[in-house]
Chains A and B, each alone.
Chain A
Amino acid sequence: MAVIETKKLRKSFRSPLKKPGVTGAIRHLFRPEWKEIVAVTDVDLSIEAGESVAYVGPNGAGKSTTIKMLTGILLPSGGAIRVNGLHPYQERMRNSKNIGVVFGQRTQLWWDIPVIESFTLLRDIYEVPEKTYRENLACFTEMLGLEDLLQQSARRLSLGQRMRADLAVALMHNPAIIFLDEPTIGLDVAVKERIREFLKAVNRERGVTLMLTSHDLGDIEDVCRRLIIIDRGRIIYDGSIQGLLDRYVKERSIRVTAGVKIDRVAAARELPAGVEIAEAGEKEMTIRFDRFRYTARNVLEIIVKTVDVVDFQLKEPDIERVVKNVYEGRLELSDEN
């Protein structure tokens, strides 16, 4: 059963249309004009229990708006929406018991009181049974390394510490779904790593459905199995990460190191269609090839005829390039190619 389901979900905002300068501002005061800004439109989502979904797109694409509608903060302007069978806005209180939310840029902790006190507050807010609370607290304290920071006030925590505490908060009431809006923003590599491991464990061992937005493609590849790309308010890709690569990335490359100076012209002459030199130096060369037509072995066999290969390295297609191309408008995913 789908735990998150939307049909033709839409959200538009009214934005003041002001003419420039003071006169414009004054005129707006008496005769306001508005223009409608569509943040999200025609979004169809169907996410099953236990999935881990990355929801990505450039800034302003509508990611956060979607998350805010799914968490009951914003009322959709149109379309159908169901989270665990509930309407998140109209049944906000009930829906909020089933979900956990982490905003990378905000905290659920009270600034001026010890972290553990915020935890108790959350325990009472979600009416978590004492036993569950103790078990979860012990579990998260160990997994996220919280013991040293429980007695400190949130104000004193570093961003990484705060984020770890916020993750524990979001999961303390055993939610069925957890939404994470840029959970690793601004964090160092070690903390990112730890958070990803934690999220994977929570998804795998507790069966928590995970939906995260991120600009960090490492998060996406590491944690999520499904990828949804939104651009200018519309979903432009929904499928597996491998599926995206299969569809849009035809190339792999091989980088070889030679024992003697490479004769570039001779090497190029031997290459069949679909295999080409991307870069060549004195004793190094990178060859790009169509991964659907040739295997790495095929390519290597051709190269060794003209180059004295002593070492080689394969470069797999990377999701980062694809998504970057999408963000920059160089790749239209709706086009069949």
Chain B
Amino acid sequence: MRAMKKYVRHILCAIQETTAYRASYFINIISQFVSYIAIFFLWKAVFTAQPDIGGMGWNDMQGYLLVSLFASALISGSSEFRVSRAIWTGNIAVELVRPVDYQKANFAITVGNGIAEGVLVASIGLVFAVLIGFTAPPANPVTWLYFLLALAFSFMTKFLIVYIFGLFTFWTTGGMGLSWFRRGLTDFFSGAIIPLAFFPGWLQTVAGALPFRGIVSVPATIFIESMPQSQILATFAVEAAWIVGLWYLARLIWHFAMRKVTIHGG
């Protein structure tokens, strides 16, 4: 338990840090929100022309987009660049002289940021839901339970993917390109913009084999109850396996990075 305390403290500090800069905190979230308004109207137009796409109605799509907004906003801005910035400025040296596990500490900080941002994103999401007249939240408490679990998986999966891409900075020395690539990959294969159900068959197979779908598609389809209950637990098992796998993959990459690469700056 004592060993946990230091990571809990990281979470607390991260919450403080996130709220310390209210302006950038709001701008971050509002910019996400704005892009979702655009996506929302785009899909509204599509569903007006064709009320049923791949078994989804407009009401389902609204629920899907709400979850997508929430899940995408949970890990944003600061977490994205923390690792790559620490590497290219060489500040990672400071972290390495302390008795902390860098990966766990980073996860703790991301959780802290996520909690602080999550509260705000959830309230904005609620306003958004009222604005668009969304009236069909799941009635079944079991669905909510699964949904919350799926969100937890979503969070861990996204953290690990962001973290691993951050570590590549050890080899590339610049974080921007990697981050754009990571975003493109995640947005596409997680179903954040286009639900995976709308993909052609072969692309659905590809997306199904990748870990990204856990970030948006899984929690969103659970939320709109379009994933059969029988599939949910099996999906969770696969996600858990991905999380464990990615966790150790990140460790392996870290191991090689530390051996091969220099720390930048004096």
Which residues of A line the B interface, CB within 8 A?
Answer: 13, 64, 68, 71-75, 92-94, 96-97, 99, 101, 103, 105-108, 110-113, 117-118, 120-122, 124-127, 153, 181-182
> Which residues of the other chain, B, contact A118 by a CB distance below 8 angstroms?
13
Q: Which of A73, A93, A96, A99 has the most B CB atoms < 10 Å from its CB?
A: A73
Bound-state CA distance A124–B262 (Å) is 29
Q: Does B49 contact A (CB under 8 A)?
A: no
Bound-state CA distance A101–B98 (Å) is 9
Residue pair A106, B9 in contact (C-beta under 8 Å): no
Please, what's the 1-or-0 string for B1-41, where 1 marks a CB less than 8 Å from any CB in chain A? 01101101110010011001100000000000000000000
Interface size on B, residues (CB 8 A): 28
Q: Does B125 contact A (CB under 8 A)?
A: no
Bound-state CA distance A117–B13 (Å) is 7
Known A105-B266, A124-B6; judge A99-B21 contact (CB<8 A): no
Query: Which residue of chain B has its CB nearest to the CB of A97?
Result: B99
A interface: dominant SS? mixed
Q: Does B229 contact A (CB under 8 A)?
A: no
Q: Which of B96, B98, B101, B258 has the most A CB atoms < 10 Å from its CB?
A: B98
Residue pair B93, A106 in contact (C-beta under 8 Å): yes
> Which residues of the other chain, A, contact B10 by a CB distance below 8 angstroms?
121
Can you list 12 contacts pairing A with B, beta carbon distance less than 8 Å?
A73-B97, A99-B97, A101-B94, A105-B265, A105-B266, A108-B94, A110-B13, A124-B6, A125-B100, A126-B98, A126-B99, A182-B266
Residue pair B6, A125 in contact (C-beta under 8 Å): yes
Known A13-B262, A73-B263, A112-B21; judge A117-B16 contact (CB<8 A): yes
> Which residues of the other chain, A, contact B99 by a CB distance below 8 angstroms?
93-94, 96-97, 125-126
Residue pair A110, B17 in contact (C-beta under 8 Å): yes
> Which residues of the other chain, A, contact B2 by a CB distance below 8 angstroms?
127
> Which residues of the other chain, B, contact A181 by a CB distance below 8 angstroms?
266
Bound-state CA distance A112–B258 (Å) is 28
Q: Which of B6, B16, B17, B262 has the most A CB atoms < 10 Å from its CB?
A: B262
Residue pair B5, A106 in contact (C-beta under 8 Å): no
Bound-state CA distance A105–B266 (Å) is 8
Known A72-B96, A112-B17; judge A64-B266 contact (CB<8 A): yes
Q: Does B235 contact A (CB under 8 A)?
A: no
Residue pair A75, B258 in contact (C-beta under 8 Å): yes
Known A106-B90, A121-B9; judge A113-B97 contact (CB<8 A): no
Bound-state CA distance A279–B62 (Å) is 90
Known A13-B262, A113-B17, A153-B20; judge A101-B9 contact (CB<8 A): no
